[in-house]
Amino acid sequence: MNLTRKLIKAHLVSGEMTPGEEIAIRIDQTLTQDSTGTMAYLQFEAIGTDKVKTERSVAYIDHNMLQSGQLNADDHAYIQSVALSHGIYVSKPGNGICHQVHLERFGRPGKTLLGSDSHTPTGGGIGMLAIGAGGLDVALAMGGAPFYLVMPRVVNVELRGRLKAGVTAKDVILKVLEKLTTSGGVGKVMEYTGDGVKYLTVPERATITNMGAELGATTSVFPSDETTKAFLEAQGRGADYVPLSADDGAEYDEHLVIDLDSLVPLAACPHSPGNVKPVSELAGKKVDQICVGSCTNSSYLDLMKVAAILKGKRINPEVSFTVSPGSRQVLTMLAKNGALADILGAGARVLECACGPCIGNGQSPKANAVSLRTFNRNFYNRSGTPTADVYLVSPETAAVSALTGVITDPSGIELPDIKMPEKFLVNDNLILRPEEFKDVKVVRGENIKPFPKTHPLPDSLSGEVLIKLGDDITTDHIMPSGAALLAYRSNIPYLADYCLSNCDKEFPARAKAKHGGFIVAGSNYGQGSSREHAALAPLQLGVKAVVAKSFARIHKDNLMNNGILPLVFADPVDYDKLEEGDTVAIFDAPDSVRCRKFNLVVENKNLNIPLRLECGERQIKMLLCGGSLRMAAGGDPE
């Protein structure tokens, strides 16, 4: 048996482990972050559970850190108070990015982790079955419900050989993205094996599992081995170690080989993590901004390498260079050993231990800039500057390019050999433990608005095609991020006025004027973040269904959780027959849901377009009821 199937089997609550069939698994741990957390805890409160039912749940505050006005601080006060009152740990602002901190302080091999952030699979770097999901799924898990998912196919990514100097874990996952594309992992788990695994540290493994999210994969996982043990012991958590690996001769659904010996430094070019080219082909392009950090590349090892490259040198005067340490542990250790002084001495700007520029919260580059970032996403306008070109690179490529002022291939450059510390500096003063707080009063700011309510599925759905979109529409397209909107993540009526504004600024007003309607899209609709705001905002605007060639996993689940039908063209060529402004209808909607077959009547063209609903029996009941929260509350599915 492969490791993925072992982990699933150990947590299986219902269903058969047959790829494509729905299963339910027990969740041991959950995490939320403040961008999605406020809504998740409002939903958790609506469930009515007194105390969290998981082994460990943690609320992180790491996204909405720009406190310009009271809105973000109000949300943070709500999250802290509601979490502590329900037995949930709190990682306060400044403690670090959720995935980095969870890896350091809470993650345990062999456990399941469900997080309201799409990069939760970072935990797979220490042998967890770590999955990103919408906040409502996480809220239900905190209340004791299992997590439902389609049993994934398991891809054996065999790593052979050893990375050369200048080539990094970032280049490994970029190579996988180059081979499989941003939708190549949908319905799959990427399980890493091979002789090359033993040469990768836990932070390097976590970089790879983190960006597995960009493949659309359910999750990614490495074995838990002596390297894992050494990392946990260095964190003072040796007792959490459990050895885990696939059986000899384990079977897989697919097999992909990556020769580490032959890899070269790579970059993801604008505007997709899957648009991968060798750095050598881009060498010489002038750079305006470089940002190191994010949950992908902000570990102690990453920043020690950056510090060693910069030591005693000067960052090119025409480059703005920022560093965001992944955790307070990382920042403190850099400060104590002098590496922080080396980074500052070269001319870098050191930002807070938070997501920062990666989520679009500050550091938007100038117009028409070239920005190199060690992040995981370079979607259009995610940086906050629509005309900027953002490239995703390794910390080594970023650091050497900062010195030259142009994109520079780090191959052949003398790079330091940085070792994993035998002991990390542990200080959990910014982690609040619920057992230390009694009679906590929940604080609610005025910006915290109720989430839109759903209703049982009506007999028929009708309206106009409000917008027609192409392939690979991301959650950043659907519900833009950035500092201006992050403060309103707990206010869906306000956010709805910006829904799909990256595609068409008139969409929200049109949707309101038409009293809702339908969205039509191409392939891989909803790739990217787990933010359920990308479903809640359309719900607020009256969107009844999304008709697409295919959907990204998390967004599809978020749509169904909120009672919006995610319908797929039975024949993709029918996509070309629909246009914005078409008047369409679905009659006998409940019966159509039950049989998973729909007839979309295009009234102004006298056309009938067959559609499919790809879901299980549980989701049929959920859609009839009007969403998962209504079903959990005992709503009538009829």
Structure confidence at residue 637 (pLDDT): 43
Structure confidence at residue 268 (pLDDT): 98
Structure confidence at residue 66 (pLDDT): 84
Distance CA(400)–CA(404), nearest Å, equals 7
CATH superfamily, with its number, for domain 461-632 = Aconitase, domain 4 (3.20.19.10)
The domain spans of the chain are: 3-262, 266-404, 461-632
Structure confidence at residue 606 (pLDDT): 95
Structure confidence at residue 636 (pLDDT): 52
Cα atoms in the Cβ-side hemisphere of radius 13 Å centred on 85: 17
Both structure tokens of 442: 């929940």
Low-confidence spans in the chain with pLDDT less than 70: 635-638
Which CATH architecture fits 3-262? Answer: 2-Layer Sandwich (3.30)
Q: What is the pLDDT of residues 263-307, one digit of tens each?
A: 999 999 999 999 999 999 999 999 999 999 999 999 999 999 999
Distance CA(102)–CA(125), nearest Å, equals 11
- Residue 446's CB is within 10 A of a number of other CB atoms, namely 9
Structure confidence at residue 315 (pLDDT): 98
Q: What is the pLDDT of residues 61-93, one digit of tens each?
A: 999 888 888 999 999 999 999 999 999 999 999
Both structure tokens of 74: 């109000």
Q: Which residues contact 259 (CB under 8 A, 6 or more apart)?
A: 160, 161
Structure confidence at residue 635 (pLDDT): 61
CATH superfamily, with its number, for domain 266-404 = Aconitase, domain 3 (3.30.499.10)
- Decide: 88 and 141 in contact? Cβ < 8 Å: no
What 611-616 contacts at long range (C-beta under 8 Å, 24+ apart), as own/partner pairs, is 611/547, 611/567, 611/568, 611/569, 611/570, 612/567, 612/568, 612/569, 612/570, 613/565, 613/566, 613/567, 613/568, 614/566, 614/568, 615/560, 616/21, 616/22, 616/148, 616/150
- Decide: 122 and 209 in contact? Cβ < 8 Å: yes
What is the layout of strands, in order, in the sheet containing 370-373? 276-278, 266-268, 389-392, 370-373, 289-292, 320-323, 349-350
**197: phi then psi, degrees, rounded to nearest 5:** -60, -40
Both structure tokens of 625: 């009821």
Distance CA(21)–CA(83), nearest Å, equals 34
Distance CA(555)–CA(314), nearest Å, equals 44
**337: phi then psi, degrees, rounded to nearest 5:** -95, 0
Both structure tokens of 447: 């910006």
In degrees, to the nearest 5, what angle opens at C-alpha 98 toward C-alphas 93 and 102? 120
